[in-house]
């Protein structure tokens, strides 16, 4: 490697090493409600400052946000840029603040990384574990999928345009809602923990899908049956929460709930055999180690093995544009 190549590499490394600073800046600004305070008109620090905040500290903070392109500055006054107005304020067209809230809490978890690696498991999962699937988390899941839901619905429509769909651990039901909008012959069920289906119901009502999309309280792990007669069962962002033994049982119960020739669609990070790529997936594997007692990301080979053992045929992987991919199989 020559000197220029090494310099470029070191520059990239420095970027990576300090990348958390940019993330922390954005999530902290949102947690301090700063984008709302600078929404619309230009305002001075004095105008927006809270009693508990230091004027100089806030100014330095706002200057860094300006450098990042999330505030703009005229003289000594600031206001949101088009992007922060669009994504991080009360009248945001696409409100990404639930995701920022989740990430903001993530810093505390990631600061435990060295201890978690030594222990091989989460240090604090007991505090985030049970309470994790609360309405705030479900709103964050809705926000994270906002820009990918259409691609997913179009993909699902290839396998089902009529018939009955189960969204297992569906959360807000974002993908099944989007599918039902473009597949008028289909009906469905969002099954999730009792507290979560209340959140799903409010989204279903907002989309006026109550007649075709029902909800059902279900415990994926402790319930022995997921019902029967489904044409398609969607398992999106679920299997990474659990370890392999539970995932094998989930897929067996899924198989039983499907009609003959019914399909299962798993949406998740699908890793290579080394478990290293996609890189976002291996980072997510760490996140699962920090956040859950047994969660992880799994390889295509592992999914194929579990699906085959459950009785599925015609197993294949479909690559999507976003972060996750699909494993699809038939009963
Ligand atoms: C990462 S979210 C994914 C939600 C949705 N599938 C999506 O992709 O937006 C995980 C979901 O699994 C649900 N879940 C976790 N454990 C569960 C269990 N034991 N029984 C039923 N649902 C569960 C959570 O409530 C949450 O809605």
> Residues near 156 by Cβ (< 8 Å), separated by ≥ 6?
165, 175, 179, 183, 232, 234, 265
Distance 11 CA to ligand 1 centre (A): 40
Distance 196 CA to ligand 1 centre (A): 8
> Residues near 194 by Cβ (< 8 Å), separated by ≥ 6?
217
pTM of the model: 0.93
CB count, 10 Å around CB of 150? Answer: 12
Alpha-carbon separation of residue 229 from 138, 234, 331 (angstroms): 27, 14, 12
3-state secondary structure the chain: CCHHHHHHHHHHHHHHHHHHHHHHHHHHHHHCCHHHHCCCCCEEHHHHCCCCCCHHHHHHHHHHHHHCCCEEEECCEEEECHHHHHHHCCCCCCCCHHHHHHHHHHHHHHCCHHHHHHHCCCCCHHHHHCCCCCHHHHHHHHHHHCCCHHHHHHHHHCCCCEEEEEEECCCCCHHHHHHHHHCCEEEEEEEECHHHHHHHHHHHHHCCCCCCEEEEECCCCCCCCCCCCEEEEEEECCHHHCCHHHHHHHHHHHHHHEEEEEEEEEEECEECCCCCCCHHHHHHHHHHHHHCCCCCCEEHHHHHHHHHHHCCEEEEEECCCCCCEEEEEEC
pLDDT at 128: 46
pLDDT at 134: 87
Distance 9 CA to ligand 1 centre (A): 40
Alpha-carbon separation of residue 26 from 5, 77, 95, 257, 277 (angstroms): 32, 19, 14, 44, 27
Would the CA dihedral through 248, 252, 254, 258 be positive or negative?
Answer: positive
Residue that the structure tokens 């922060």 belong to: 84
The residue to mutate among 168, 174, 192, having the most atoms of ligand 1 within 8 angstroms of its beta carbon, is 192
Token digits of residue 229: 């007669």
pLDDT tens figures, 145-177 = 988 999 999 999 999 888 999 999 999 999 999
CATH 1.10.10.10 in the chain, residues? 3-87
CATH 3.40.50.150 in the chain, residues? 145-330
Distance 251 CA to ligand 1 centre (A): 15
pLDDT at 292: 86
Token digits of residue 61: 């903070």
Distance 152 CA to ligand 1 centre (A): 17
> Residues near 286 by Cβ (< 8 Å), separated by ≥ 6?
113
**CATH architecture, domain defined by 3-87:** Orthogonal Bundle (1.10)
CA-nearest of 270, 257, 268, 275 to 312 is 257
CA-nearest of 198, 197, 160 to 180 is 160
The residue to mutate among 175, 189, 238, 266, having the most atoms of ligand 1 within 8 angstroms of its beta carbon, is 238
pLDDT at 127: 47
The topology under which CATH files domain 145-330 is Rossmann fold (3.40.50)
The protein residue with its alpha carbon nearest to ligand 1, atom 11, reads 169
Distance 194 CA to ligand 1 centre (A): 11
- List residues near ligand 1 (CB under 6 A): 133, 138, 141, 145, 169-171, 174, 192-193, 196, 218-221, 236-238, 241
Taking only Cα atoms into account, the Rg of the chain, rounded to an integer number of angstroms, comes to: 22
pLDDT tens string, the chain, 331 residues long: the values are 899 999 999 999 999 999 999 999 999 999 999 999 999 999 999 999 999 999 999 999 999 999 999 999 999 999 999 999 999 999 888 899 999 998 998 898 899 899 989 988 777 765 444 567 888 889 999 998 988 999 999 999 999 888 999 999 999 999 999 999 999 999 999 999 999 999 999 999 999 999 999 999 999 999 999 999 999 999 999 999 999 999 999 999 999 999 999 999 999 999 999 999 999 999 999 999 998 889 999 999 999 999 999 999 999 999 998 879 999 999 9
The chain-wide mean pLDDT, for the chain, equals 94
CB count, 10 Å around CB of 104? Answer: 17
């Amino acid at each position: 490697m020559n000197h220029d190549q090494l310099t470029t590499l070191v520059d990239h490394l420095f970027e990576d090493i300090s990348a958390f600073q940019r993330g922390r800046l954005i999530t902290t600004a949102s947690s301090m409600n700063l984008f709302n305070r600078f929404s619309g008109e230009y305002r001075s620090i004095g105008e927006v400052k809270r009693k508990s905040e230091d004027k100089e500290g806030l100014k330095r903070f706002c200057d860094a946000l300006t450098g990042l392109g999330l505030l703009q500055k005229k003289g000594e006054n600031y206001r949101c840029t088009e992007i922060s107005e669009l994504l991080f304020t009360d009248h945001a067209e696409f409100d990404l603040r639930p995701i920022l809230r989740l990430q903001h809490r993530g810093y505390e978890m990631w600061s435990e990384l060295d201890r978690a690696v030594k222990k091989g498991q989460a240090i604090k999962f007991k505090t985030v574990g049970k309470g994790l699937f609360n309405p705030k988390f479900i709103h964050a899941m809705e926000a994270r999928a906002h820009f990918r839901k259409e691609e997913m619905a179009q993909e699902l429509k290839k396998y089902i345009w009529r018939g009955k769909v189960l969204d297992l651990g569906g959360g807000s039901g974002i993908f099944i809602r989007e599918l039902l909008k473009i597949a008028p012959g289909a009906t469905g069920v969002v099954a999730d923990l009792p507290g979560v289906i209340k959140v799903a119901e409010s989204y279903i009502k907002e989309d006026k899908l109550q007649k075709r999309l029902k909800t059902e309280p279900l415990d994926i792990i402790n319930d022995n049956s997921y019902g029967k007669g489904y044409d398609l069962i969607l398992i999106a962002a679920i299997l990474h929460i659990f370890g392999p033994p539970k995932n094998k049982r989930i897929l067996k119960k899924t198989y039983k709930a499907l009609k003959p020739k019914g399909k299962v669609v798993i949406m998740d990070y699908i890793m290579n055999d080394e478990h290293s790529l996609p890189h976002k997936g291996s980072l997510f594997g760490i996140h699962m180690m920090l956040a859950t007692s047994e969660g992880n990301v799994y390889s295509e080979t592992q999914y194929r093995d579990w699906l085959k053992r459950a009785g599925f045929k015609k197993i294949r992987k479909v690559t999507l544009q976003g972060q996750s991919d699909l494993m699809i199989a038939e009963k």
